[in-house]
């Protein structure tokens, strides 16, 4: 299927690895000039992207600098993919609400919500001019808050709600805003040595490899496997294209059937 994206431009955040890198590669393969933003620029990102910048998107200054750099490199933004999120697995605690600090809540919201707010506000004038598309990467935790770092589910729920609001405000101006909500995805967040996956495994007293092998059944994933980054990237590329021209304000779940509610 030709998505008709050849010649378009895109800004992808959190682009150095995992879902963000897969999105960058998928869009580039469709002929999109992608500007990738991440704290650490990897060789893989440099290979796939037309331009890159290192920025801390949990800060307003970092988000504004990233958009300015993208506009300078690309001349305008047709597609904005806000993929940055999660947090540093080695810093987040898995304790309950009473065990979590105010600092963790602020840091999680700064990265998963407030930085995205600043990025979208800065990019929207160009997106309006070009009648572009925004795809925000949320999480199924927005629908089904789970045991995990305090603040993450709540920040993603706010992001999903914000995306719906912006779809109503800017849809009449030709800007489509949609959300993609993955379940467990096979990235370093789950497979890395200092990841949330490693912390869950340690909490359960089992090797990380065994934890990941048992995870689909324990989490009730109907497909009995976790999602891979390329599968999320393919969905993002479709939503970014004119093939999805009348998909506005949707929250599309890609989780192998983890969420059981309608």
Residues 93 and 67 in one domain: yes
Question: Who contacts 181 (Cβ-Cβ below 8 Å, separation ≥6)?
Answer: 137, 138, 139, 140, 142, 143, 156, 160, 251, 252, 253, 254, 255
Rounded CA gap, 81 and 62, in Å? 16
Residues 221 and 232 in one domain: no
Residues 42 and 60 in one domain: yes
Residues 84 and 124 in one domain: yes
pLDDT of 128-178, one tens digit each?
999 999 999 999 999 998 767 889 999 999 999 999 999 999 999 999 999
Residue 2 covered by a domain? no
Is 152 annotated as catalytic? Answer: yes
pLDDT of 190-243, one tens digit each?
898 888 788 888 888 999 999 999 999 999 999 999 999 999 999 999 999 999
pTM comes to 0.95
Residues 41 and 132 in one domain: yes
Residues 150 and 99 in one domain: yes
Residues 31 and 120 in one domain: yes
How many C-beta atoms surround the C-beta of residue 46 within 10 A? Answer: 12
Q: Which of 35, 109, 152, 190 is catalytic?
A: 152
Q: C-alpha distances in angstroms, 234 versus 28, 79, 155? A: 12, 14, 25
Q: Which residue range forms the structural domain that includes residue 218?
A: 186-226
Residues 133 and 213 in one domain: no
């Amino acid at each position: 299927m030709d998505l008709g994206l050849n010649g378009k431009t895109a800004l992808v955040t959190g682009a150095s690895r995992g879902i963000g890198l897969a999105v960058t590669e998928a869009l580039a393969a469709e002929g999109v000039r992608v500007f990738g933003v991440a704290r650490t620029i990897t060789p893989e990102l440099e290979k796939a992207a037309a331009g890159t910048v290192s920025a801390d998107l949990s800060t307003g200054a970092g988000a504004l600098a990233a958009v300015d750099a993208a506009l300078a490199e690309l001349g305008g933004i047709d597609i904005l993919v806000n993929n940055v999120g999660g947090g540093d697995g080695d810093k987040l605690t898995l304790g309950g609400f009473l065990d979590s600090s105010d600092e963790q809540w602020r840091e999680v919201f700064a990265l998963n919500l407030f930085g995205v707010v600043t990025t979208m506000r800065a990019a929207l004038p160009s997106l309006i001019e070009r009648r572009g598309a925004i795809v925000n990467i949320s999480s199924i935790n927005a629908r089904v808050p789970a045991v995990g770092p305090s603040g993450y589910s709540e920040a993603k729920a706010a992001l999903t709600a914000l995306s719906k609001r912006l779809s109503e405000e800017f849809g009449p101006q030709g800007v489509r805003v949609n959300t993609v909500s993955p379940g467990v995805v096979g990235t370093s967040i789950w497979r890395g040595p200092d990841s949330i996956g490693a912390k869950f495994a340690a909490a359960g007293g089992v090797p990380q490899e065994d934890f990941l092998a048992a995870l689909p059944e324990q989490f009730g994933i109907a497909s009995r496997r976790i999602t891979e980054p390329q599968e999320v990237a393919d969905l993002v590329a479709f939503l970014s294209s004119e093939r999805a021209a009348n998909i506005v304000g949707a929250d599309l779940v890609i989780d192998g059937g983890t969420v059981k509610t309608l």
